């Protein structure tokens, strides 16, 4: 299991509440009560979810947003309508810090606005958020029901399999355990492993694709040949074979293996994108201005690919999730409860495919996985707008 430090804790909540005082104080100083309170809530909430690690970035972000609200009223001399002679360009460290934070805050606000603008994307965002919150905060509300409960057999039912009822909204499984608690507790490992696999895939693909396109020549040929070689191997069967040979003690290893097998598709797309982007006029202008290869790669080419990369990362996460569930379903990786994949595996073993009474064991995790996947797909719609300055133009 990947170290999932994101289980809600009381100390985390305290850290978050204390951290949140910083944006709140600044907001009160600038007489911006509403963003201040929202900032405090965001800090407390993220501290609750992720402890110190979640609290600190949140302070920075919310402070930035609060300051950007304050800056709406305060005219920055740099963007004033004054003429050249009337402007004083000197500024103190503090003013620079405020200006930079205001810039960051504007970006965050513009991103949030873009996130909210696309309806389908926003619904997807809510779905992803729901599953995230369920995995993080759910365990606080619903304790894990891991032991068999023969006592839960109802007088009129013939087995422990039970359809949803008011007491057990998703029913009981073959040992009389609450399926809802398994759904709530079983997402963490799967989502994190799939997420890690997607991120690793994207990193490998972007680095290799960009190198192939920028260096060209032998490097390009070797990388492309290598990616073609991996592409010709059917991915899932190979994963299956490897999984049966190797034993995956950690999910990190599984994620890494998945990444090593699935980077070529995205790498070819990234390579093609870089090849196209580097022919743009603004790249030629950067060459004429002698801005250097690093600048051209990181500042001219990469920012125009970010939305594409992020969207593809989401898609790799989806594919990784299906693959991992598939492996678990076939029993090729060590089974650890609670896990959505293991739930399907056990459900099939208990005859969910042929016997209608055990269908509830499978239905709940399948729905959870399908809904999470759907949310991810819809979420990408909004992400495109968030990362594209042309679409984000609002603010």
Contacts to other proteins by CB under 8 A = 78-84, 87, 89-91, 96, 280-282, 284-292, 295, 299-300, 303-304, 389-390, 393
Nearer to other proteins, 31 or 78 (CB): 78
Query: Minimum distance between the CB of residue 124 and other proteins, rounded to whole angstroms?
Result: 24
**Closest CA relative to residue 308, chosen from 320, 319, 316, 299:** 316
The answer to whether the beta carbons of residues 58 and 50 sit under 8 Å apart is no
Query: Minimum distance between the CB of residue 108 and other proteins, rounded to whole angstroms?
Result: 16
Query: Minimum distance between the CB of residue 266 and other proteins, rounded to whole angstroms?
Result: 21
Nearer to other proteins, 77 or 139 (CB): 77
Query: Minimum distance between the CB of residue 57 and other proteins, rounded to whole angstroms?
Result: 23
DSSP for residue 168: S
Nearer to other proteins, 143 or 394 (CB): 394
**Closest CA relative to residue 78, chosen from 99, 97, 63, 102:** 99
For 99, phi then psi, to 5°, come to -65, -45
For 123-134, b/e burial (b = at least 16 CB within 10 A) is: bbbebbeebbeb
Query: Minimum distance between the CB of residue 49 and other proteins, rounded to whole angstroms?
Result: 31
CB atoms near residue 23 (< 10 Å) = 28
Nearer to other proteins, 224 or 304 (CB): 304
DSSP for residue 354: T
Q: Alpha helices of the chain — where are they, by DSSP H?
A: 10-19, 21-29, 33-73, 93-117, 119-141, 179-185, 187-215, 217-232, 235-245, 251-277, 281-288, 293-295, 306-329, 340-349, 359-387, 389-392
The answer to whether the beta carbons of residues 382 and 129 sit under 8 Å apart is no
Nearer to other proteins, 34 or 280 (CB): 280
Query: Minimum distance between the CB of residue 100 and other proteins, rounded to whole angstroms?
Result: 11
Nearer to other proteins, 10 or 85 (CB): 85
């Amino acid at each position: 299991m990947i170290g999932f430090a994101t289980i809600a804790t009381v100390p985390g909540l305290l850290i978050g509440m204390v951290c949140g005082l910083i944006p709140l104080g600044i907001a009160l100083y600038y007489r911006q009560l509403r963003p201040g309170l929202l900032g405090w809530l965001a800090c407390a909430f993220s501290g609750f979810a992720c402890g110190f690690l979640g609290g600190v970035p949140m302070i920075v972000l919310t402070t930035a947003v609060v300051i950007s609200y304050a800056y709406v009223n305060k005219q920055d001399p740099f963007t004033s309508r004054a003429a050249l002679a009337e402007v004083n360009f000197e500024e103190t460290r503090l003013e620079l810090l405020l200006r930079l934070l205001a810039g960051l805050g504007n970006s965050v606000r513009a991103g949030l606005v873009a996130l909210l603008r696309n309806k389908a994307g926003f619904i997807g965002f809510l779905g992803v958020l729901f599953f995230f919150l369920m995995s993080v905060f759910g365990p606080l509300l619903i304790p894990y029901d891991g032991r068999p409960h023969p006592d839960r057999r109802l007088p009129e039912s013939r087995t422990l399999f039970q359809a949803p009822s008011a007491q057990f909204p998703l029913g009981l499984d073959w040992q009389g355990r609450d399926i809802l608690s398994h759904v709530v507790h079983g997402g963490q490992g799967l989502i994190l492993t799939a997420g890690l696999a997607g991120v690793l895939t994207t990193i490998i693909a972007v680095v290799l694709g960009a190198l192939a396109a920028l260096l060209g020549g032998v490097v390009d040929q070797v990388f492309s040949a290598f990616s073609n070689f991996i592409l010709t191997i059917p991915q899932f069967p190979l994963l299956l074979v490897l999984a049966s040979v190797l034993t995956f003690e950690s999910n990190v290893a599984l994620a890494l293996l998945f990444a090593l097998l699935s980077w070529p598709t995205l790498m070819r797309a990234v390579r093609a994108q870089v090849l196209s982007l580097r022919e743009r006029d603004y790249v030629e202008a950067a060459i004429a201005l002698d801005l250097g290869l690093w600048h051209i790669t990181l500042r001219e080419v990469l920012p125009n690919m970010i939305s594409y990369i992020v969207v593809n990362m989401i898609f790799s996460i989806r594919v990784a999730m299906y693959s991992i569930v598939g492996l678990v379903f076939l029993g090729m990786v060590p089974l650890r409860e609670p896990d959505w994949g293991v739930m399907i595996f056990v459900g099939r073993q208990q005859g969910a495919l042929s016997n209608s009474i055990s269908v509830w064991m499978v239905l709940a995790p399948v729905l959870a996985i399908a809904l999470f996947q759907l949310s991810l797909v819809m979420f990408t719609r909004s992400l495109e707008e968030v990362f594209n300055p042309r679409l984000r133009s609002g603010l």
